[in-house]
Structure 1
Amino acid sequence: MRIVFRVEGEPQIGLGHIMRCLALAQSFDSEGHQVLFIMSESSQSFCQKRRDWVGDIMPLATFDEQALSNQVSDDYHDIKLLEANWVKHQCSELGADWLVLDGYQFAPSYRQVLCHDNYKLAVFDDMNNSGDLHADLVINGAHNASKLNYQVSAPQAQLALGKSYQVLRKEFLQVSDKNWRKRNTLTLMFGGSDPQNMTLLALQSLQKINAAMSITVVTGVAYTQLHTLQHFIANSQLNVTHHHDCQNMAEILVGTRLALSAAGGSQFECLACATPAMLLVVADNQKFASQQAAKQGWCLVKQWDQVSIDELISTCMSLWQQAELLQSMHVKALQQPIEDGAKAISELMLTLSDKSEFAV
């Protein structure tokens, strides 16, 4: 099969959409299928730096609405619809079997334009709050996804919902050594862009209390305060190791005693590595999954706008000093099954494809 992904990742929207598309693309690639990404120039630099990247990248065409206004009918003046029609044309020209769409910026009208008889449309969704999905397949790996009433927004779609469809990149599915005795660091990881700059705020708070443990800091390629952070670390008395645009997160997490992390996709990576965590919820779509994770006993959850950074670090330090509790959280994480959701999705898409010659 040939699968095309339409997705973006930038400081304003983070990198989570790209990372889960990459996880699915890796599954397809490992089975010999062709994958291709369509994205804007601003998103491409992140992808091209990753050692685990798979698939070619097609630059998204740019549209000058004023220049095109005299060349197309009034129905196509909306620049996003121009873009959607261009994407649809590319999929047809490429002979795509599936188009996978992931991002909050794609409106129902955009998705409707993408509907086409020559390929099927899969949509990653998180909250079912953006109107009609116009999809052949809806993907949502959240625990509560089956309760989100997709029968209304996507009445004709096949539904890939729940934990069995959570996607993880290959590095997290291949983790074998989760030995607790090897863990000795506090790891700070606030997502690919960290728009609130929680990384620097957390380090400043740790410095105020003269924290003595080894601290690992992970920032993504979309993080915009890199120079300021590097200057702080260089002049700090803290024992900090900084990884920017990290390519080996699983290796870092299996050496982590406690992670202070943004919720979202990172929490599933912590769980896959059996790493106790304090999860910081920064978006509404992260709440339910984080609450479910807290019930499993391997993490604590805080709402970023309901606690000060000093309070957050104080709770973190209290937890750090409770060795038996941390180890019990680690054990509870080990008890949670880790499923290959990307493989489950790819197998489902293969089954739904009209082209019988692709059958396994």
Structure 2
Amino acid sequence: MQLFIRAEGNPSIGLGHVMRCYALAEACQLLNIPVSFLCSQQTSDFLKSRRGFNSGIIMLENTLQTDSDKTTNSELNELISVLTYDAVLILDGYQFDHIYQQAIKHAGIKFAYFDDINSFYQSGLKHCANIIINGADSALSLKYELNATHSKLCLGSEYLLLRQEFHNLHPTAISERDSLLINFGGADIHNYSTQLLIELEKQGFTAPVKVVTGAAFQHQETLNRRLQDNLSTSPMQIEHIHDAQQMAILMQNARLAICAAGGTQFELLACATPSILVVVADNQLPASQHAAQQGWCDIIEWQKQVDISALAAKIVADWQNQPEIQLKFNKARQQHRKLTFNGGKNILNALNELAQ
């Protein structure tokens, strides 16, 4: 079996799709399964910057890079031309819409699709992928059985992908954690990181803060200027880590994490870190609501209205509420014990069956 992954990561769409596929590529490495990414120059540069990255890369000239890009024959023709006879293609990204997937199907290519909210069902469309993958437990209630009747369904936590650094961790006791972790994703398009730091300063927060920005973050100059000027004398002891390569260590040491919802929430759970998940897109909501029901995190919904001040006030209040922090940690530990870390292996087994 030869796997090809079509995914992108950039300031417009963030890094969530490509990082999920990176976790799958790590699983391929462990099982000696050849895998190559099909992507733009920008995504190629990002992948090569990852410590330990050892997969193939085939750069495409005519790439769909954002959610709003429309299917083009130029990308499809280029994509199809590089696939081998025994190829299994994996798609991860909303730009790979129903028209795109139908074209792949009609070309006779076997393919799997990473999905989050079954938007095809909401649009009255049928899935045509050979395999649908959604590793969130919330996937079990998204009605895939109604519009993916000819697809193998790989749904729920047994298909959850986590990067190797998050496998089989022993969560640090909450009493040994001392920092607030802020991470608004790989891009943080609206620079919420800087805005939140300023608001926390105004509201008198004094604990150590580690703010992590991703490789697609475009506001480093603004953030650094604020750190040198407005926040230079802050009692918060702010540490800025850009393009972190060891997120598990940072999460393990966080007493409370403020993070963009999405794939990061599963990494936080692997570290049993009490969290506030900030939902900025509807596709993040089902999995985040499910996590909140488990009791180890709260969610803040910013799809329609952003309220930095209210978030800062919640952080200040939550930080001071030791019993609540301990309770969330205990709930996280309970859920952490249920993680099996077999998602990559289970997905690859399904892909191998498809390749036969």
Q: TM-score, normalised by structure 1?
A: 0.89
**Separation of aligned partners in 2, 1:182 and 1:220:** 26
Counterpart CA distance in 2 for 1:330 and 1:297 is 9
1:46 & 1:132 partners in 2: Cα distance?
Answer: 33
Q: Distance in 1 between matches of 2:328 and 2:140?
A: 28
Hey, what does 1:338 align to over in structure 2? 339
Q: Which residue is 1:51 aligned to? A: 51
Provide the C-alpha distance between the structure 2 equivalents of 1:177 and 1:312, rounded to a whole number of angstroms: 26
Matches within 5 A, 1:173-188: 173-188=167-182
1:70: which partner in 2? none
* 2:316 partner amino acid: M
- 1:100 equivalent in alignment to 2:90: yes
Whether contact under 8 Å (1:101, 1:122) holds in the other structure is: yes
Tell me how far apart the structure 2 counterparts of residues 29 and 101 of structure 1 sit (CA, whole Å): 19
Q: How far apart are the structure 2 equivalents of 1:330 and 1:147? A: 27
Q: Hey, what does 2:66 align to over in structure 1?
A: none
Match of 2:110 in 1: 120
CA contact (8 A) 1:101 1:123 kept: yes
1:198 and 2:192 aligned: yes
Q: 1:79, CA displacement in angstroms?
A: 6.5
- Superposed displacement of residue 152, structure 1: 4.5
Give the Cα separation in 1 of the matches to 2:200 and 2:26: 38
Secondary structure of the structure 2 residue equivalent to 1:144: helix
Q: Identify the residue that residue 4 of structure 1 maps to in structure 2.
A: 4
CA distance in 2, matches of 1:149, 1:57: 35
**CA distance in structure 1 between the partners assigned to 2:101 and 2:274 by the alignment:** 39
Listed one character per residue, the Cα deviations across residues 92-151 of structure 1 (whole Å, up to 9, x for unaligned) are 3xx443100010011222112222787520100112224343211000122232333334
Structure 2 unaligned spans of 5+: 64-69
Superposed CA offset, 1:55-85 (max 9, x none) = 111111238xxxxxxxxxxxxxx97122112
Instruction: Look up the SS of the partner of 2:72 in the other structure.
Output: helix
What is the percentage of aligned positions where both structures have the same residue? 38
Instruction: Give 1:191 deviation, angstroms.
Output: 0.4
Among 186, 196, 213, which residue is 1:219 paired with? 213
Aligned partner letter, 2:308:
I
Report the Cα offset of residue 234 of structure 1: 2.1
The letter of the residue matching 1:320 is: W
- For residues 129 and 313 of structure 1, do their structure 2 counterparts lie closer, same or farther at Cα, with a shift above 3 Å needed? same
Q: Deviations over 1:283-338 (max 9, x none)?
A: 10111111111111111111124451111110111000011211121111011122
- Gaps spanning 5+ residues in structure 1: where? 64-77, 355-360
| Equivalent pair of 1:253/1:273 in contact (CA under 8 Å) | yes
The answer as to whether partners of 2:138 and 2:290 remain within 8 angstroms in 1 is no
Please give the residue correspondences for 1:14-33 in structure 2 after superposition, counting only pairs within 5 Å: 14-33=14-33
Instruction: Output one character per residue of 1:206-265: Cα deviation in whole Å (capped at 9) or x when no partner.
Output: 121232110000000101101111111122123111110110000100000000111111
Q: Residue 75 of structure 1 aligns with which residue? A: none
Answer yes or no: is the 8 Å Cα contact 1:134–1:154 preserved in 2: yes
Q: Retained in 2: the 8 A contact 1:137–1:160?
A: yes
Question: Equivalents in 1 of 2:200, 2:241: separation in Å?
Answer: 18
* Mapping 1:1-360, distance limit 5 Å: 1-62=1-62, 80-92=72-84, 95-115=85-105, 119-130=109-120, 131-235=125-229, 236=231, 237-238=233-234, 239-304=237-302, 305-306=304-305, 308-336=307-335, 337-340=338-341, 341-354=343-356
SS at match of 2:12: coil
Alpha-carbon distance between aligned partners in 2 of 1:153 and 1:44, rounded to the nearest angstrom: 34
Contact 1:276 1:330 in 2 (8 A): yes
8 Å Cα contact 2:203/2:312 also seen in 1: no
Residue identity in the other structure for 1:115: K
- Change in Cα spacing, 1:266 to 1:203, as seen in structure 2 (3 Å) is same
- The answer to whether the 8 Å contact 1:6/1:101 transfers is yes
Give me the TM-score of the superposition, normalised by structure 2: 0.90
Cα distance in 2 for residues equivalent to 1:176 and 1:116: 47
Would the aligned equivalents of 2:11 and 2:217 in 1 still touch at CA under 8 Å? yes
Stretch moving more, 318-327 or 117-126: 117-126
